[in-house]
Amino acid sequence: MFDNDLLIYLETYLTEERKQRFLDVLQQRTRHIAIAVEDVYQLHNTSAILRSCDAFGVQDLHVVENRFGKRLDKNIAMGAEQWVDVYRYKNVADSISKLSDDGYQIIATTPHNDSTLLSDFLPLEKSAIFFGTERKGLSDEVMQQADGFLKIPMVGFSESLNVSVSAAIIIQQLAQKVRDSHVDWQLSDIEVLEKRLDWTKKSIKDVDGIIKRYLGE
């Protein structure tokens, strides 16, 4: 059960400007879209995708770290890991299973196949957008289990973009599309409260000690 009294108490440690900033940002946050990256090799690419999620209002990033280990660089993420929920998986099967169970359709990004153009794609259903490695793209496992395919229209000689650039374009476009649509894209009331508490805790020095004193421990 959510502890609203704890939230109210901890928010007394924040400035009014900080509290309002959290409210303003949360009004634009969505879980209607989720982003998933599979075995992206370069640290800076995954970290840059995390920053794009935060900048464009996508709350959840799913990271498959099967081959290359942890793929986030805090120096590049520049604090965005505090505001975006990151879920880590050792294999892609677990990520697909989790997202499917949560009601997401799996959308694979690829410049090949008979992919839907980004300009033509409106995610009326909850959609998890998968991005693959810089050289080989997504694994066969993702491609075979995908419910749809998506690509950015290209008019030059290049067939693809850097994965973090592709992700930034797609995240911004899809996030804006759902905000402009009739779908129920916003966080629920309880999700907003939970993120307010989470972000407030992350904003207070020695928050564990403060909570212990609040609980009388």
Cβ atoms within 10 Å, residue 158: 8
Q: Write down the pLDDT at residue 217.
A: 66
pLDDT for 74 equals 54
Write out residues in the chain with pLDDT < 70, as ranges: 41-42, 66-78, 134, 217
Q: Residue ranges of the alpha helices (H) in 102-162?
A: 140-145
Q: What is the pLDDT of residue 77?
A: 43
Whole-number Å distance between alpha carbons of 179 and 57: 10
Give the sign of the dihedral formed by CA 70, CA 52, CA 77, CA 7: negative
pLDDT in the model for residue 80: 79
Residue 35, beta-bridge partner list: 61, 129
The H helix count followed by the E strand count for the chain is: 9, 7
pLDDT for 101? 98
Residue range(s) of every CATH 3.40.1280.10 domain in the chain: 30-185
- pTM: predicted TM-score of the whole model, two decimal places: 0.91
At residue 66, the pLDDT reads 66
Residue 50 to residue 37: CA distance in whole angstroms:
10
Superfamily (CATH) of domain 30-185? SPOUT methyltransferase, trefoil knot domain (3.40.1280.10)
The set of residues, in sequence order, having a beta carbon less than 8 Å from that of 203 and lying 6+ positions away, is 13, 14, 18
